[in-house]
Structure 1
Amino acid sequence: MHSKVGIGSDADVAALAELVADAERVTDAARAAQIHEVRVLAAAGRLAEQQSAGASERVKAREMALRSIAAELAGVFATTDRTLQRRIDEARDLVENYPATMDAWEAGRITRGHVRAIQDTGCVVPTEVRAEFERAAIERCEGETPNRVRDALVHLAERLHPRSFTERHEEAVAGRCVRVQAGPDGMSDLIATLPTVIAEGVVDRLTRQAREIIDARRHTEAGGSEGGAAAGDTDAAAVERADSTGSSFAGDTRTMDQVRADVFADLLLAGTPSLDPTADADGNGALGAIRAKVQVVVPALTLTGEDDGPAELVGRSPIDAATARELAGDNTAWDRLLTHPVTGTVLECDAYQPTAAMRRLLRARDRHCRFPGCRQPAIRCEIDHTHAASDGGPTHVGNLAHLCKRHHDVKHHTRWRVEQLPGGKLVWTSPTGRVYREDAPRPLVAFTPATESPPAKSESPPVKPESPPAGAESRPAGSSLLTASSARRSIQTGHDIPPF
C-alpha cells in the first residue's frame, strides 16, 4: 500500500479549497484585464489608420502614425516601441478577424493560451472559411489545455487550406540546410532544418542513447565498491577510481542535455559514441545500434493513395502523405486501428506480427500521459494499473493507462484519485473534490478524403457510445487508420508507393 502525503487533514483540504477559489477570482480579473488591453491596442491601430487617411503616401503615413502612437504607449507598458507596434498589429488582427474567438474569451469559455493558439494556427486559413475554422477551433479548445489542443488546430487549419499539405511540403523540403550561428563564450548553435519526421527521429535516437549512458552511470554508482564513486570524491579521485575499476562512468555528472549534445557530436565526427556502456574488450558495443522510433497515424485512404491528406506525427505536427506511405511500406511493425465512424475513438488494434497486443492497443488509444493537461508521449510513459494491482486490480486494457513518471507518482503518493470508465475514459478527482474527465484522445487526422464535404454538425454533440454499434464490422470507408514505428535514420523520396 502506498502512503498518501501532501494534504494531511481536512483542514488542509479546506485551506487548499480557499486557495483554489482565490485563484479562480484572480483568473477572472486577469482575463478581463487582458481583453481590455487587447481592445485598447486594437483601437490604437485604428487611430493610426484614421490619422493617415487621405495622405498622399498613405502607407508611409500610416507607418509613421503607428510608430508615434506605439512610442507613446510604450512608456505606459514599459517596453520598446517596436514591441508595442507588433502587439498593436496582433491585437487588431485578433479583434477584427477573430470576433467569435474574442466572444468566447470574454465569456470565459477559453483562455488567453487558447486565443494565441487559434490566432497562430488560423493565419493560413482563407478569409472565406475563417468563421468555420473559428467555430470548430473554439469547440476543440473548450475543456482542453492550450498545449493539448494546438496539434488539433494545426490539422483543422491544414484541411481548410486552399493548397494541399503535400504540395507545400514538397516546396519547403527544398529549403533543408545546416547552418552555424555563433554564440558567446566560445559556443555556437548548430541548426539543421529538416523534415519534421527526420528531426524527431534524430532527437529520439539521441535521447535513447543518452538514457542508456545515464542508466549505466546509475548502475555503476549503485555498485559501491564495484566501481561507484564514493561520497566526497573530487573529480580527480573519481577519475582515479574509474581507472582502477575499469568503469568509464564513475564520476560522470553530465545532464541529459549534455549527454545528448556529446553523443550528437560523437556521431557526426566519429560515427559512434565515445562512451558505450555495452562495450567490451572484444569491440564496439550495441549503443550505436539503437535506432530512432516515431509514431505516425495515417488514414487508410491516404495510405492507399486515394487521398493526399496529411498524416499525424503523434505529439508533434502533420507530415506529408508521401512520407507517411514510405514509413508504412518500409517498416514491419505497424498496426491497423479500427475507429468509431462518428466519435473517432479507437475501438480495436490488430497487428500483422506477433507482439504485445495489449501494450500496442494502449499506446494507440492513449497516445500521451492521461493526467489532465499532460501530453508526454505514450512511448515515454509508464503503464499504470488504475485500480492498483496490489489491491486486486486486473491487468486488462480497461484497468490500464499511460502515465508519465511525474504523474504516476502523483497518483500513488498524493490524495489525487482516478477511476477508469468503459472506453478508456479517466475521471480524476483532486484533493479538493474538483473532477476532471480525461477522454481517450481521438486521432487528429481526417477520416474522409479532402474532396468530400464533412457531415453537417448538430447543435449538440452526439453521445459517445461505449461500444461499437451492431454491424460495426461493415464500417464506413476511411474509418481505419494505420500507425507505424520507424527505425529509419533518413527518408529517401521519389520511390513508388509500396503495395499493401
Structure 2
Amino acid sequence: MEFPAPPSERSHSTDAWSGMPRPGDGVLQSDADTAWAIALGLLDDDDPETDSGCASSHGPAALLDRLEESCAARHRVTAAEYDLIFRILQDAADDPDTWVGPDPTLDGLWHDPRGRTIAAVRRDRLDLAERAAVAEIAVRLRLAEQTVRTRGAQAAVLRERCARIWAAFTEGLVSERHAVETARLAATLPTEPASWEAFDTGAIERALRLSPARFATSARALRERVHAESLETRHCRARTDRGVWMTAELDGMATLTAFLPADRAAAAMNHLDRTARHLATAEGDDRTLAQLRADVFADLLVGAGQPSDAAADAPPATVDAAGQDSPQLATPRPTLRAAGTPTAPARPSVVVTIPALTLLDADDAPATLDGYGPIDLDTARRLAGEAPSWIRVLTHPVTGVPLALDRTTYRVPAALRRWLGISSPTCAFPGCGRPARDCDLDHLHAFSDGGTTADDNLDPECRHHHRMRHETRWAASRDPDTGDLAWTTPLGARIDADPPPF
C-alpha cells in the first residue's frame, strides 16, 4: 500500500472545505506512520491508542512494543521456512516419483545393468529424490544445498525430540539461534525419549530467559547432564570428524581452521604462543603476538626457510601456461618414500592463473589463486619468477579452444582437462563451488549418442551433481546460439548456470 506524501507547498493556512486550520507536517507524518503500521499488521486500527493525537502511540514504550512484535513475527516466518523445507523433503521421501521418475522395479521385465537388488535400487531412489528436492529448494532460494539439508534436518530433530522448543519457535517466542542450537545439541543425544524429554524441558526454560550466547553455554551443560553415554565414548566417536579446511577472506587473506581433539589443539596453541613470545624478545622485531603466532604457524606448516611475512610466504612453483592469456602455476606434489626415510619439507600445491600481459607489466588485471580468488600482483609475479619450468598449451587465437586434440575419443585429454579447469573453474551446477579439479567431466550430449569430447560439450560436475543429472529429473542444456548453460528442475523451473566465480 502506498500513501501520498503531504504537499510541500501550501497557499492557504486553512482548509478550503471546512475552514479549519490545516494540520502541520508533523501530524501528517504521524498519521502516515500509523497507517503504515496498520497496513503491516503492527498496530490494530481499532485500538484507540493508534489515534494520531495520542502522544503515547509514538513514544519509546510504544515503539519498543512494536519492535518486540516485529521481532516475534520474524521468528514465526523463519520457523515457517524451516517447516516448509521439512515438509517438502518429507514429501520427496514419501513420493519420490515426482523427483526421479517412475519406479523401474515395478516392471516385471526390469533388470538393473549395475547388478543392484530391488531393495538397493529403491534405497537409491529415495536418496536421489531427497537430493533433487534439496537442489530445487537451494536454487530457488539461492541457498547452499548444505544449508537446505541442515535446516530440514534441524526441523525434523526439533519436531521429534524438542516439541516445546519447536512450538515456541513457531509462535515467535524464541529466535532462530535458540532453535538451531537446541537442534544441534538434541541431535547428538542417544535415541532415548527420556533424554529428549529432559533436555527439551530444561532447554525451554533457558531459551525463554537467556540471550542466544548465554543459552548456548547453558544448553551444552544441560546436554552433559542428560546424556546417557559416557564422555569417553562420545569423544572416540567425535574424533572421526577431525579435519582442516580453508575459508577465503578479503584482501588476499584466508582463515585456516583445524578441528582437533581438545588436548592436541591446546598443546598446539601453547606451542605457538611460547614460540611467538620468545621471538617477541628479539631486538627490532615490532610484530604483535597475534602476528607472530600466525607467522610461526605458517612457517611450521610450509617449511623452514620460507619468509615469515604472509604476503611473501609462498613456495617455489612450476608454471603451466594455458594459451597466450592465462599462465597457470602449480608446485609439484611431494613424492612418497619408504617409512623411516627422511624427507625434505613438503611443498604445498599452488595453482595461480595470471594474464600474460600482467606478467609483462602491460596490464593490471588481477591474478587468481585456485580455490581462493584474486591475489595481489606482486605475489603472482614472484611465483611466476620462481617457477623453474613452463608448459604451454596452444589455443585457437579467437575461440580459445585447445588445438590438436582428438575429439573422437571418450577419454578427456590432459590438455583439454587443463583448459576446462581454467574456463570452468567450478562445478557447473548452480550454487556449487567445488573446484573443477575434484569434478567429473560430463558429456552434455552423451558420447554414446554421438557427442564429442570437446570443450563445448563438456562441463565439470561434482560426483553428487553428476549422479543427479543422470538419475533424477534434473536436466542440463546449452543454448546453441550463445553457448550458455541452463538447468531445468524436476518441477520445470529453468535455472541459469552461475557465471565464473572470478
TM bucket, shorter chain: 0.3 to 0.5
TM-score, scaled to structure 1: 0.36
TM-score, scaled to structure 2: 0.36
